[in-house]
A and B are shown apart, each in its own frame.
Chain A
Amino acid sequence: MQIIRNIYQFYWQGFRSMTLGKKLWAIILIKLVVMFLILKLFFFPNYLKTNFDTDQERSDHVIEQLTK
């Protein structure tokens, strides 16, 4: 239990004492939000998962695409 507390304290103090790091974390978080909540959700759906329900349908579609 003490180890977990020490690890928590280590990260907590580390994050609290950041200076430049705060700006970098802000950039990372904005970037992840843009990537996963905007780009992935609205612009990059998985084509096969969105248009087909089963793996069989997906493989049939790909084979059809490859052999047409």
Chain B
Amino acid sequence: MENIDFSLVNWSRAQFALTAMYHWLFVPLTLGLSFIVAFMETLYVRTGNPEWKRITKFWMTIFGINFAIGVATGIILEFEFGTNWSNYSWFVGDIFGAPLAIEGIMAFFLESTFIAVMFFGWNKVSKKFHLLSTWLVAIGSNLSALWILVANAWMQNPVGMKFNPDTARNEMVDFWEVLFSPVAINKFLHTISSGYVLASVFVMGVSAWYLLKNREHLFAKRSMIVASVFGLITSAFIVLTGDGSARNMAQFQPMKFAAMENLYIGQQNAPLVAIGILKENAAQADHKKQDFRFMIEIPNMLSYMAFLDPNAYVPGIQDLVHGNPERNILSYKQKSEIGKLAITSLADYKNARKAGNDSLAATALATFEENYKYFGYGYYAGRDVHELVPHVPTTFYSFRIMVGLGFHFMLLFFVVLVLTLKDKIAKNKWILYTALWTIPLAYIAVELGWVVAEVGRQPWVIQDILPSIAAVSQLQPASVQITFWMFFVIFTALLIAEIKIMTVQIKKGPGEDTTTPETLTANTNL
């Protein structure tokens, strides 16, 4: 790994980031809207009120548009695995095979079959069977997300596998450990609930637009109630799962955690920087310290967040890079030496096997297995170990903006719910405008969540085991650049199509409006 083409690595990373971020523009709305539609249809089946059917059908159409535009955009990521990240693809071996195969089967049978009933089945199948299909689409969509997120969680915390040095592949030894690792469970719950919040914001914002246009009052208010209740519950849940994710991060990815907190020097009773503006200075450039221009701290909160103990020690970037013997933290230099030993012993093992020298092969294998834990650090032996530090400001700000927006959504759900129940929402124009303009903020929040998770773990493709410099295929950087721009054009076209079709459909509305402000009598109609 002496002649690394960073242009190739960076373009490949940029391409993957672009594809994943565009894909993630479509997925969360599908995840959340599928459940919102299911709740609405449940209300229709329980009450028999045709207005609920009208509401359900409208949001189902919006779900259909988003589903159609977004479907298969994730396949591009699999193309990239095989072409741009072939070492990684081979190396992860069977770990991804099982979850992704289950995802494919699940997606095909649950989503594809029951989506047809959802859209074609009105008045053709019984109300209850139609409702069951809608719920199965929601459950199926969310379970599809489970498998891909399990695969992603494994990259953040590789467990339940054993590396086979003969095939150069990781083999799954415990499926349940992979599926039920705390990182996988938290990642799944946190990610899908972010989709629920986004969909709730979306439904609330579009409904606000109708009220601003003095259209579809009953439709808008009922949609707002469902969205704000669902959004409020899932916002509370997202705080819990986010807390779990932070603890997982502190345990399994301490560098990501330190970068997210801009914590350079580890400390006990570490405070959480609730709000902060970083100050770029020479010390930061040298990875020693990064000051704040301004900050508001919550005492002991970071220690508590990380280890449920306000007195706990939270290691900083300096501790992780240079080691801290008092806290039994190895330096990156030490880890890179161990990793280098693992890499060398893997090569020795292969050579000994080729030469038929079984005893030498056994010795090399034992050395390899003993040191495999830090395999990936070996690629940084003799290099600047600060390459193992992710971009701190990006991780720091992304986390804070995401959390700040999360609290904004929660407050907005509460206010909208109260005002709608009191039938005062239509008169509060500024709340309606806020709800409308919160739609793009929800998209920003979910994308920033992805940035925290993925930028924060750089340079690791698989935590501690495989960095991006070793995972990439030996391609021409120019070819990666070409496909990067091709994807940019294709995905942007899809996004424009989505926005245009959705806007037309929203302007068209849910059909004939049977209600006007005058015919509504407050809560009785809700």
Contact = CB atoms under 8 A, between A and B. Distances in A.
B119 A47 contact: no
Contacts of A39: 76, 79, 483, 486
Interface size for chain B: under 10, 10 to 19, 20 to 34, or 35 or more residues? 35 or more
Nearest to A12: B120
A14 B79 contact: no
Contacts of B79: 35, 39-40, 44
Contact of B168 (A10, A44, A59): A59
B82 A44 contact: yes
A27 B69 contact: yes
Contacts of B474: 65
B166 A25 contact: no
B82 A62 contact: no
A19 B123 CA distance: 17
A63 interface: yes
Interface string B76-99: 100110111011011100000000
Nearest to B1: A68
B473 interface: yes
A5 B79 CA distance: 38
A58 B89 CA distance: 11
Contacts of A68: 1
Contact of B80 (A24, A25, A44, A65): A44
Given A11-B120, A55-B167, A66 B470 contact: yes
Interface string B161-200: 0000111110000000000000000000000000000000
B71 interface: yes
Contacts of B505: 20
B65 A24 contact: yes
Contacts of B346: 63, 66-67
Contact of A28 (B68, B350, B470, B490): B68
Contacts of B61: 20
Interface residues of A, number: 36
Nearest to B66: A24
Interface string B51-85: 00000000001001100110111011001101110
Interface in A19-40: 20-21, 23-25, 27-28, 31-32, 34-35, 39-40
Interface string A42-68: 011111110000010011101101111
Contacts of A31: 72-73, 494
A10, A28, A31, A45 — most chain B CB neighbours (10 Å)? A31
Contacts of B350: 60, 63, 67
Given A24-B64, A27-B68, A62 B120 contact: no
Contacts of B473: 47
A23 B501 contact: yes
A14 B75 contact: no
Given A27-B494, A39-B79, A65-B474, 16 more contacts: A10-B116, A10-B121, A11-B116, A17-B120, A20-B65, A24-B64, A27-B497, A31-B494, A35-B79, A44-B79, A47-B82, A49-B82, A63-B168, A63-B347, A66-B168, A67-B347
Sort A-B residue pairs by CB-CB distance and give the 7 closest, nearest first.
A14-B120, A47-B86, A24-B68, A67-B347, A46-B82, A44-B79, A62-B168
